[in-house]
Amino acid sequence: MARNFLESQDVCIVAYGETKIDRRTGKTAYELAAEVAEELFARTNLTPGDIDGVSFTVPLSECANPFWSNYCTDYLGITPRWLQTTDIGGASAIGNVARAAMALQNELCETAMLIGADAPSSKWSAVYGSYRNEFWEPTGIQGPPGAFGLLMNRYMAQYELDFAGLGALAVAQRNGAAVNENAYERFRKRIAVDDYLNSREVSTPLRLLDSVMFCDGANGLVMMKTDRARELGFENRVYPFAYSEITNFAGAEQTPDITETGFSVSGPDALAKAGLTPADIAMFHPYDDFLIAVMLKLEQIGFCERGQGSQFLRDTDISPTGALPINTGGGQIGCGQPGLAGGGVNLVEAVRQLMGEAGERQVPDPANALVTGIGVIPYGRNWGTSNAMVLVK
């Protein structure tokens, strides 16, 4: 594997921002991008004229516009010398940290603003091509819950799945949402394992409380070279320290084991680049579209053995003061998923924690965080992109 381009900590994150997550706001992705941009400008004391690098995720609510990134920089009054829109879905957030780091290292820009903004509960403009019209939509498969129902049922044929373990994760994430002011207000109440177990089945064996719900919202970061951050007086810095990404894992195989995911590659690779083992990880902020995705990542990154994920979740204290804090702010299942900006929910919480600004859910002095992203539901497998990033203080 290639060298670790993040090892020298020559680029850093100096600020994070996040809007309240809400349903059917009637806002556009531009309006939500403006909200998070204002927060980022305020936190950094920068103006639109100071930003010369921008990355976006593709919003579900604006993807019919092939010029989203140009329109949005115009909307914000930013004149980037490096501009990138990333379309690896929920993997775009940490994917953009890696891409911005490369742009900064290569001096394509000096000050980068990374924005995820989407409003799919207010506007939906996605139209899928490729196999979807002929071989997916006419089968009546219930989109991502259907795909994860297939994945979950197959896992249950190969391994033992203790639903109480998934329930423990649902409970822990709701505990985070309850103390997270940015979480969707209706989700800010605690639940019990039985609430999870008794929630109705959407696509058996997948339950309602296994799943995210589409909301509106935005999140973002400001990044620059570490030398420049020091000069400008940004003392609270977080460093991307290792990154690994893989798309279309086992994509050419016709009959792969669908319980094996790209995280079996990108997880261990990111940890190896960071010189860390799973035991060294202070907190885990996994992309959580469905609970079982978090569980499979625990297994394949190496926190536990294959087939032991649900037992691990049942038996491990995953609260902010526990052995392995997981998605302390509630994750996307706890907070609501702001469309394809969803990956930023997990990422921003990790940065907030490392900056020591997580309030009553603060993890005591975390040295590092492992953040993951998942992007895109493929045909009859698990997911498209699996990426992992280690962040350090």
Partner 1 sequence: MNEPAPKPRPVPRPTANTQFFWDAAKRGKLALQYDPDADRYQFWPRAISTATGRRNLEWRETSGRGEVYSYTVTHVPTAGFEERTPYVVGLIELDEKVRIIGNIVGIDPGEVEIGMRVRATFETLTDDIDYFAFEPDDG
Instruction: Name the residues that contact partner 1, by CB under 8 A.
Output: 131, 133-143, 145-146, 149-154, 157, 200-206, 251-252, 254-255, 258, 379-380
The residue among 150 and 272 lying less far from partner 1, judged by its C-beta, is: 150
Strand order in the sheet with 385-392: 239-247, 385-392, 368-375, 284-285
Residue 52 half-sphere exposure toward CB, CA atoms < 13 A: 11
Closest CA to 191 of 214, 166, 213: 166
d(C-alpha 160, C-alpha 383), whole Å? 21
Residue with tokens 């050419």: 252
CB of 255 to partner 1, least distance (A): 5
- 8 Å CB contact between 297 and 286: yes
Helix, strand, or coil here: 17?
strand
Residue with tokens 């052995």: 323
Kindly write down the DSSP assignment for every residue of 147-169, as one continuous string: HHHHHHHHHHHHS---HHHHHHH
CB of 24 to partner 1, least distance (A): 10
The residue among 106 and 204 lying less far from partner 1, judged by its C-beta, is: 204
Strand order in the sheet with 217-225: 11-18, 217-225, 111-118, 53-57, 82-86
The residue among 75 and 124 lying less far from partner 1, judged by its C-beta, is: 124
CB of 254 to partner 1, least distance (A): 5
Tokens found for residue 330: 């509630």
The residue among 155 and 287 lying less far from partner 1, judged by its C-beta, is: 155
CB of 246 to partner 1, least distance (A): 16
The residue among 284 and 290 lying less far from partner 1, judged by its C-beta, is: 290
CB of 314 to partner 1, least distance (A): 24
Closest CA to 223 of 369, 110, 118: 110
CB of 301 to partner 1, least distance (A): 23
- Which residue type does 52 have? D
CB of 188 to partner 1, least distance (A): 21
Tokens found for residue 384: 């498209």
